[in-house]
Structures are given as structure tokens and as C-alpha cells.
A and B are shown apart, each in its own frame.
Chain A
Amino acid sequence: MGYLYTVLTTLIINAIAVLGLNIILGHAGQISLGHAAFMGIGAYASALLSTKGGLSFWFSFPLAVSISGVIGFFLGLPSLRVKDDFLAITTIGINFIVQAIFLYVPFFGAALGIGGIPKPKLGEFVFKGEYYLLIVFAVLLVGAFFSFKFYGSWAGLASEAIREDELAANVVGINPVRFKLMAFVLGSAYAGASGSLYAHFMGFITSDDFGFPLSVTFLSMLVFGGVGTIRGSLIGAFVLGVLPELLRPLAQYRLLFYGLLLLLMLRFCPGGLASLVRLKK
């Protein structure tokens, strides 16, 4: 059972990050290839607050989420001046630079990373195994519910308008920068939540955990599941998260399979799995 809980917890942690990416890409139409950096920021914030700051999970988690959101704001402010391809490359750059800072600055544990991150506790009770899974699942539910509410909200509709036609949205009085930035901050906060949960789950983090390949994985999950829908984000995170576990016997060919699958998906069904489901209805 321990294996199952570990796999499920990891899946859900990824799904939370993908939900955040969906707000940035699916809603506001901004490509981010640096999502793992914000997960890393959440993870390092949470790790530092709980090891060096001595805070419990119940304080470090919300603080980590807010810190990721704030850093998302300050990194998004210059990045969102550029569009599409420029933004994709800029966010790749953010990922590499954030990772380099974690790796080279001694305050962040440098090459050794940060260890001894405590599990959440309530009195004497320690949340581990299936109990940690419950916490993670609760965060996913809250995140999905908030995403759902955001869809119907005025701000959600405004950012969708920007995705469809930025100029037209601007003409009817929607400030593109403001709503793009809002989507970016929200998405970063989701990534931060996911990172904080990851840090307290693993107990040990290094800069390698939040590299560019992870950003690509998140984007792949979102695209595979279907950009712009909550169910797409969840389906993508779960299918692409479970596949490596099922393909463990074929470990040699796993990445190749993953790459080709993604390629075929994009080539023949760019709407992702969610669009297939819709077609059948």
C-alpha cells in the first residue's frame, strides 16, 4: 500500500501544478515553460520556513503559496511585456536562472539541497502515508474548486477574452497586462502549493528536482489532457503520471514512448484527450 500512496500523492502534487499552468496557458493564453521554477520557489520557501524558521506545516504552506505568488508577480511583470514565442523563451530562462540560484547560493543549501523537512503534525499525530495523501487531496479539491469558480468569474472571462483576441479585449476596456499578470500570479501560487506539498512529502529537496524537464512535463500533461479545461488538466496529469509506473518493465523505452505519444497527440489531436471525450458526446 505504501507504493500506491506514494504514487497517488505524487500524481496529485503534479495535478495541482498543472491546474495552475492551465490558468496561465488555458485561460490567459500565455505560454509558460518555467512552471517548475515556481514549484521550486514554493518548495524552497516551505523548506526554509520549516527547517530554519521552525514553523509548522500549517504556517509554512500558506506562506509558501503567498511567496510563490508574490515572486510570480515580480517575474511576471517584466516577462509579460513579451508575447508567445518570446514569453516561452523568457520563461525557459527564468527556469534556468532560478535553478542556478538554488544550486549556487549557500543560503538555499547549494548542491546539498535542504533535508529534514518535517511532515505536518497536529499535536502528537503525524500526517504520513494515507493521511498525507488526504491533505494533498484536500488541496487538489480546493484548487480545482477555485479554478472552477475562476472560470465563471468576471476576471476569468476577461482573461479568456485576452486569450482569444488581445486587441479586441483591450478595446472593450480590459487591461491585458493586469489580467495576464493576475493569471500568472494565480498559476504561480498553484505551483507554489504543489512545491510546498512536495517538499513536506519528500523531506528532502535539491535544485535538480525543479529543472526545465519538469516544466516540459507539466506542459506536456496539460497539452495531452487538453488545454483550457479543468478535467483536461487532471486527466493529463493522471494519465502521463501513471504511464511511467505502468511502463516500469519497459524502463529503457519509457522516455521515447512518452515523447512519441506526445508528438502523435499534438499532430493528430491538438485539443488533447479532453477534446476526444467531448467529440463522443
Chain B
Amino acid sequence: MLWQQLVNGISIGSVYALITMGLAMVYGILRILHVAHAGIYTIGAYLGLYFFEATGSLSVAIFLSMSVCALIGIAMQRFVYYPLLRFPPFVPLIAGIAMFLSIGEICRLIAGPYPLSFPAVVYLPTLNVWGAFISPVQLLIFIATLLVLLFQWFLTSKTNLGLMMRATSQDMELAESSGINSKKVIALTFALGSAFAALAGILVGINYNQVYPAMGDMPAYKSLALIVVGGLSSVPGAVLASLLLGMAETLLIGYAKIPLPRDALAFIAMIIVILLKPQGLLGRRG
């Protein structure tokens, strides 16, 4: 039973990780809290459902949705965030919240306020790992997350492009003066993060078989807490924090009788981390 709970927890945590990674990447490079990221997650789920119904193929739908969301992410940073960087940090933050609100409303107006079902069938086996069952959708979540993590690791630590990304996030001006086109690097960061968020949206949509306008609400605020726990700009920290939270949440529901909703757990963890280790689990000091 405990083992099964852990497997469920890791699958929830993997989805959190997919969402939170983009947020950590964006924070690392622009030092802004990109609340509208969860809006892209919602759009991704809707687009995925739309393309799935139009083409009948899940893989095509995932690919198209990720691509469109990457473009939306680039547009957001180009037209909203980039011009606001010279203002105090609450200005881009509120702009992000305003975009997030608007995206939820647009989805509601176009697709209706009710949850739509996502009738995709995943052609993967149900695995039995030491007595715990892994459903096909959970397996898909594990595979997708693993692929994204591998891709991200390869990109940041083995390629020139990744070196440019790391350099830009360390010091944008210095990176520019050594010939890095920081605008392109920022755009790429947003594109990748947004594509991952879209993937997370589709996976959640299939897993719970529903897509609805407010589905981004909880991820929006939870992922903010998660990047704090992980160390703001640290992508590995964000992934670790997400997996831990996923497991803690499922175990809390399964065993503890604490009269607090599971959604408050992320914030409690965050406040403890801020008090004890303000640089986060894997963050750099200062």
C-alpha cells in the first residue's frame, strides 16, 4: 500500500516537475515570477484536446500543442515581460497575474465553463512493479518526464546552446559582451519552459480525464512555492522539490489525519524552507 502510494506520489510529482522546471528556468534568466506559466499549462491542455480531436493522434496533438505553446511563451516574454524588466519586480509579477486571469477567462469563454473529457487511450501496458500498479497514463507521465529531464540535462551541460543559457542566467550583461545574443537565449528559455508546461497540461488532462478553465489555479501558486523550496533558479532543485511534494501530498492524504488541505502543504514546506535554508534545497547562496 505504501509502495503504491509512493508510485502515485511520484507521478503527481513528475507533473509538478514538468510545470515547475519552466518557472525555474525563467526565474534563472530574467529574475521574474512568471505566474502566467500556469496559464500556458491550461492552454496546452486545451490545445492538446483540440488537436487530438482534430487529428485523432495523441503524439501529433502533443507535438502541435507544445509547439504552439512555445510560440505563446515567446510572445509573452517579447511583448509583456521584456519591456517591464526595468520596473520594480512587482510590476512584471502583476502583469503575469493579469495574463493568467485573462487566459483562464478566454478558455472559459471559448470552451465553456464545464470540464471537457480527454478521451485519449494510451497504448502502453499496465505494469506491476513489486506489487504496485502503474497505469498506462502514469507510465506515459514517467516516460515523458524522464525524456524531458534527459533532454534538459543534455542541453544545459553538453551543448554550446546550454552554455550560452547558463552564461546568460549568471550575468546577462557579461554574456552579451562576450557575444551571446541574450534575446535569443531568453526566447529559447521561454519556448522550452512553455512547451514543458503544455506537455504537463496534456498529461494531467488525460490522467484525470478532464480539462477545465481553472485547472491552472492550483499549479500556478504551488509551483511558485516549489521553486522557492528548490532554490528559485535551480532546475534540479525545482525537480527534487516537486517529486518530494508529490510524495508528501499522497502520503498525507493516505495516512495523516491533519485537518489541513493538501494544497496548503506546499506553502507550509516553503515557509519552513525560507526560515531554515533561505537559499532553497539546491540553490546557490547570495
Contacts and interface: CB of A to CB of B under 8 A. Distances in A.
A85 B274 contact: no
Contact of A267 (B84, B90, B101): B84
B179 interface: no
B274 A223 contact: no
B264 interface: yes
B225 A259 contact: no
B75 interface: no
A19 to B, nearest CB: 17
Contact of A29 (B88, B101, B260): B88
A78 B31 CA distance: 23
B211 interface: no
Interface string B3-16: 00000000000000
Contacts of A105: 259
B228 to A, nearest CB: 5
A220 B97 CA distance: 9
B243 interface: no
Interface stretch (B102-110, B136-144, B246-254): B102-110
Nearest to A92: B221
B263 interface: yes
B146 interface: no
A260 interface: yes
B102 A263 contact: yes
Contact of A104 (B83, B221, B260): B260
B256 to A, nearest CB: 13
A88 B80 contact: no
A131 interface: no
Contacts of B275: 78, 81
Nearest to A253: B109
Contact of B264 (A84, A89, A97, A270): A97
Contact of A89 (B33, B83, B98): B33
Nearest to B93: A88
Interface string A217-241: 0011001000100000000000000
Task: For chain B, give the interface size range.
Answer: 35 or more
A93 interface: yes
B149 interface: no
A31 B89 contact: yes
Contact of A97 (B97, B228, B267): B267
B99 interface: yes
B184 to A, nearest CB: 22
Contacts of A93: 225, 267-268, 270-271
Given A89-B225, A270-B91, A259 B99 contact: yes
A276 interface: no
A227 B95 CA distance: 14
B114 to A, nearest CB: 15
A163 to B, nearest CB: 9
B124 interface: no
Residue from A29, A262, A263 whose CB has the most chain B CB atoms within 10 Å? A263
A82 interface: yes
Contact of A266 (B94, B101, B263): B94
Contacts of B101: 216, 255-256, 258-259, 262
A272 B267 CA distance: 31
B95 A263 contact: yes
Interface string A70-100: 0000000010011011101110111011001
Contacts of A90: 270-271, 274
A86 B271 contact: no
A221 B224 CA distance: 23
A151 interface: no
A252 interface: yes
B198 interface: no
B87 interface: yes
B105 A82 contact: no
A260 B102 contact: yes
A255 B102 CA distance: 7
A140 interface: no
Interface in A100-114: 100, 103-105
A100 B260 contact: yes
A247 B88 CA distance: 31
18 contacts: A78-B274, A81-B278, A84-B89, A84-B90, A88-B89, A88-B93, A92-B225, A96-B263, A97-B264, A97-B271, A100-B260, A256-B101, A256-B106, A256-B109, A259-B105, A263-B80, A263-B95, A263-B102
Interface of A: 25, 29, 31, 78, 81-82, 84-86, 88-90, 92-94, 96-97, 100, 103-105, 212, 216, 219-220, 223, 227, 252-253, 255-256, 258-260, 262-263, 266-267, 270
Given A82-B278, A96-B263, A96-B264, 6 more contacts: A25-B90, A94-B267, A104-B260, A219-B90, A263-B99, A266-B98
